[in-house]
Amino acid sequence: MFKHIFKEGISEKSSLTERNLEEKGEIQTMDLSKSSEKPYYPPGKEQQENTNPEQSEHYLCLLENAVEIMQIGVLITDLDGKIIYANQAQADIYGYQVAALLAQLMQILLPYERRKPLSLDQIKAWKGLIREEWGLKKDETIFPIRVMSEVVKDARGEPCGIVTSCEDISERKQLEQELNTYRQHLEELVIGHTTELRTTNRELQHKIAEHLCIEEALRKSEERYRIVLETVPDPIVVYDAENKIDYLNPAFSRIFHWTLAECKGQSFYFTPPENQTEIHALFEEIRKGGTIAGLETTRLTRENNTLQVSLSGAGFFDPNGKLQGSVITMQDMTERKKTEEEMKFLAYHDALTGLPNRKAFNMRLHYELAPSASEGLEKRRFPQHQWALLFLDLDRFKFVNDTLGHYIGDEMLQLIANRLHTCLRKSDYIFRFDGDEFTIILNTINDYTDVARVAQKIRDEIARPYSIHGHELYITASIGISLYPNDGDNGETLLQNADMAMYSAKEEGQGYRFFTEEMNQKAFERMRLENSLRCALQQDQFLVYYQPVADHNNQVIGMEALLRWNHPNLGWISPTQFIPIAEETGVIIPLGKWVLQAACTQAQKWHDMGYPDFSISVNLSTRQFREPDLTEMIEQVLAETHLAPNRLKLEVTESGIMDNPDDAIAKMHILRAKGIHFSIDDFGTGYSSLSYLKRLPIDILKIDRSFVMDAPTDKDDQEIIKTIIAMAHNLRLDTIAEGVETREQQQFLARNGCRMMQGFYFGHPMPADQFEARLCSTLPQHKTGDRTYFL
């Protein structure tokens, strides 16, 4: 095949003139004005006498076989861009038959937009240049390729042809893209599968059809093949019949750091000791006429560094079938394997902490519980031992991220992961489950006291201070514990029970809790409430009650709107039960709007009836503060109900503001500018009141009932209340004390300057009609025309 291509040679005397092949041509082509038919000889290969044709034939055979078994494509064109040779790999890469490529212009292999003219100088500059380009397959698919081109020159040093090697790098690019995807989305990783290496090796051509007729054409073919071997980017080794090295290409020397002079005639296989048996099997297969294609193995560099390679090989034989030698080509897969291993690691590990992730946890849990058959009975992996599942959640970790930034939070998570390792045995497992949640499997425990000691050790270790970028930080953890097999015999149940125990520990502030059946019942009741809550608003099961707000003279000056739920089957449900569920599920958003609408409507109705313009207080939840359209919603309700903005007081909690303080304060300023008033509920029980108080556009501080309860007798509560009242006075704020139930409490508060109070002493929360009846019975009235006014 190859001899036939170059049989006629190329004219020695030719003049080159630059011209474009086509208007979109990526490759600049040349006109050759042929003025003689004398064939040229490559530089240093002028016609010599007494040349050995058999030796040249052997060398050409060697080169031809090397090119044909290479895993990369090889293309030879003349200066007009016409394809005069393509190996099978080149045809496979682009989806053609070899015969279909011959005599075609190489532009058919380039995307249309890449076919731009190049100058002769640019073509000459191609020598040894490796570049990444785009190729166009027969089916119009555009794909990435790695290309190396070499310009062939005649005896005068003028360009007379181009040899190009081509490698499809689609898989490599895909792997790089998949790896980037893994790194950007650390909490939702998927496992990457090793893509099968493409194999483009074909059966060797074992017979040479005809003897070379023209010795000069033979040497020319040798030169062309030499260029191909020396420009391909993959290592190539040629062994003789005795498995001794006959040739190494430059790519091999560049990658393995061995030269041809050092290796020629040596039986070097560059194989690690553990792979020595592989060499015998490989050459035995070649001796039998077999072909090695895409064998993934390892080879050693001169410095004994291990490379991952994809190896292909074949032998070349004389006409009698006697082995003359073999050609081995290798593709360096080290970086690709490294990328694949990194992808596998990221699929099962958390990129931030390096801990196994949720996917790994599920696999480990399945493994620990996987049944095995023994004598016809199913047994667990540790049937004679208990083990424990711990579900750990960091308390108020979100506050760290929101106030100091995620980079501080990330570093804290890394430090916590390191501390957790110090608390566990080598036989235990720790996983980053999600966000600020971790799961731990404690293997082979004797009883619950062992687990309790570990849980407390973990809490103590996490509670130690953290010094991060100049900040000294503290954090605590809540831990839920379920035991196998007592608390479940499957992973889903054990995890669910540990999760319930963790929430119980968090709610009760106990640090860690073991799962109990009582928690299960509690969770069932909570689920039933949650399901009922979603349809309660549509079924008009909610009511708004009103509780009086009195001044220091016990006169009603306002009321607070309070939500009540009367379930048709369960009866009256306490707000402490359903409000947290409404917050978590988001039902509080439509529910909160409904309460505001009902309260403002009722307040305006009483105004129209002639009652004094009492203020109406409505609670805003943390979840409502997160809504981007909160201010628009409140303004819309006021417009629809015609209630004056200065009569509306919105009660907010410290935690509601601190969830996202900057956003909350900005919304408060917008509403305050409209005339709406704000009060801080449960003042003094939060964690950052004083630091944010001066920034908040508030009018009233509500003194928490926990301080009021023992105020007449407890000196500490008395001092706290006096301090809050004094601070409010200095900041030009009013105070409301809630939870006032006795005359002694009322007198103490009034005596110390608290102007407004609220509690059972002044009245229980009551429906609108009862509140209205009370107003009628307590307020003086007079008539003007047809309207009665209550003064």
More confident residue, 597 or 189: 597
Looking at residue 695, its pLDDT comes to 80
Residues 274 and 412 in one domain: no
Contacts of 608 (CB under 8 A, 6+ apart): none
* Segment among 57-66, 312-321, 428-437, 716-725 with least mean pLDDT: 57-66
The confidence band for 595, taking pLDDT boundaries of 50, 70 and 90, is very high
The verdict on residue 520 lying in a domain is no
Strand partners, 734: 700
Residues 406 and 552 in one domain: no
DSSP 47-113: --TT--HHHHHHHHHHHHHHHHH-SSEEEEE-TT-BEEEE-HHHHHHHT--HHHHTTSBGGGGS-GG
Evaluate if residue 45 carries a pLDDT over 50. Answer: no
* CB-based contact 466:451 (threshold 8 Å): no
* CB-based contact 347:468 (threshold 8 Å): no
Residues 324 and 417 in one domain: no
Give the number of other CB atoms < 10 A from CB of residue 789. Answer: 14
The confidence band for 35, taking pLDDT boundaries of 50, 70 and 90, is very low
> For all residues of the chain together, what is the average pLDDT?
81
* Segment among 336-340, 463-467, 626-630 with least mean pLDDT: 336-340
Residues 459 and 576 in one domain: no
More confident residue, 785 or 681: 681
Looking at residue 54, its pLDDT comes to 63
The three-state secondary structure class of 437 is strand
Structural domain that includes position 468:
349-515
The whole-angstrom separation of Cα 64 and Cα 526 is 78
* Segment among 101-115, 377-391, 451-465, 715-729 with least mean pLDDT: 377-391
Q: Where are the alpha helices (DSSP H) in 193-333?
A: 215-231, 250-256, 260-263, 276-287
Looking at residue 739, its pLDDT comes to 94
Looking at residue 205, its pLDDT comes to 36
Residues 631 and 582 in one domain: yes
pLDDT digits (tens, 9 = 90+) for 227-245: 777 777 889 999 998 899 9
Contacts of 589 (CB under 8 A, 6+ apart): 623, 624, 627
Q: What pTM value is reported for the model?
A: 0.47
The verdict on residue 791 lying in a domain is no
Evaluate if residue 609 carries a pLDDT over 50. Answer: yes
The three-state secondary structure class of 393 is strand
The confidence band for 29, taking pLDDT boundaries of 50, 70 and 90, is very low
pLDDT digits (tens, 9 = 90+) for 755-771: 999 999 999 999 999 99
Residues 682 and 543 in one domain: yes
Evaluate if residue 612 carries a pLDDT over 80. Answer: yes
- Most confident range (mean pLDDT) of 63-67, 474-478, 525-529 is 474-478
The whole-angstrom separation of Cα 515 and Cα 448 is 11
Strands 245-248 and 236-240: antiparallel
The three-state secondary structure class of 328 is strand
* Domain CATH for 667: 3.20.20.450
Residues 331 and 361 in one domain: no
Evaluate if residue 786 carries a pLDDT over 80. Answer: no
* Domain CATH for 62: 3.30.450.20
* Domain CATH for 486: 3.30.70.270
More confident residue, 179 or 394: 394
pLDDT digits (tens, 9 = 90+) for 103-121: 898 889 999 888 776 666 6
pLDDT digits (tens, 9 = 90+) for 320-374: 888 999 999 998 888 888 888 888 888 889 989 999 999 999 988 888 787 533 3
* CB-based contact 554:746 (threshold 8 Å): yes
Residues 545 and 509 in one domain: no
The whole-angstrom separation of Cα 643 and Cα 607 is 9
Whether the bond between 319 and the residue before it is cis, its omega within 30 degrees of 0, is no
The verdict on residue 344 lying in a domain is no
Strand partners, 335: none
* CB-based contact 611:790 (threshold 8 Å): yes
* Segment among 38-42, 173-177, 409-413 with least mean pLDDT: 38-42
The confidence band for 693, taking pLDDT boundaries of 50, 70 and 90, is confident
Looking at residue 780, its pLDDT comes to 59
Looking at residue 378, its pLDDT comes to 42
Residues 52 and 169 in one domain: yes
Evaluate if residue 545 carries a pLDDT over 60. Answer: yes
Of 145, 163, 184, at which residue does a domain stop? 184
* Segment among 545-559, 673-687, 741-755, 769-783 with least mean pLDDT: 769-783
DSSP 358-383: HHHHHHHHHHHH--EEETTEEE-SST
pLDDT digits (tens, 9 = 90+) for 373-402: 333 334 444 445 689 999 999 998 988 888
Structural domain count, the chain: 4
Q: What whole-number percentage of the chain has pLDDT above 90?
A: 42
Closest CA to 387 of 367, 372, 359: 367
- Most confident range (mean pLDDT) of 15-24, 165-174, 212-221 is 165-174
Q: Which helix (H) or strand (E) is 751 found in, with range?
A: helix 743-751
Looking at residue 530, its pLDDT comes to 85
Evaluate if residue 699 carries a pLDDT over 60. Answer: yes
Residues 482 and 541 in one domain: no
The whole-angstrom separation of Cα 693 and Cα 525 is 39
Looking at residue 650, its pLDDT comes to 96
The confidence band for 159, taking pLDDT boundaries of 50, 70 and 90, is confident
Mapping DSSP onto H, E and C, the string for 145-185 reads: EEEEEEEEECCCCCEEEEEEEEEECHHHHHHHHHHHHHHHC
The verdict on residue 212 lying in a domain is no
Residues 353 and 471 in one domain: yes
Looking at residue 137, its pLDDT comes to 93
The confidence band for 562, taking pLDDT boundaries of 50, 70 and 90, is very high
Evaluate if residue 187 carries a pLDDT over 90. Answer: no
The verdict on residue 209 lying in a domain is no
Tokens 């040679």, located at residue: 9
The verdict on residue 407 lying in a domain is yes
Evaluate if residue 651 carries a pLDDT over 50. Answer: yes
Q: What whole-number percentage of the chain has pLDDT above 70?
A: 79
More confident residue, 65 or 217: 65
The verdict on residue 522 lying in a domain is no
* Segment among 436-440, 448-452, 618-622, 767-771 with least mean pLDDT: 448-452
Evaluate if residue 46 carries a pLDDT over 60. Answer: no
The verdict on residue 489 lying in a domain is yes
- DSSP 8-state assignment for residue 433: E
Closest CA to 623 of 576, 670, 655: 655
Residues 391 and 334 in one domain: no
Looking at residue 183, its pLDDT comes to 60
Contacts of 486 (CB under 8 A, 6+ apart): 386
* Segment among 31-40, 152-161, 692-701, 759-768 with least mean pLDDT: 31-40
Looking at residue 575, its pLDDT comes to 92
Q: Which residues of 255-286 are buried (b: 16+ CB within 10 A; e: fewer)?
A: bbebeeeebeeeebbbbeeeeeebeeebbebb
Mean pLDDT confidence for 55-83:
78
More confident residue, 178 or 629: 629
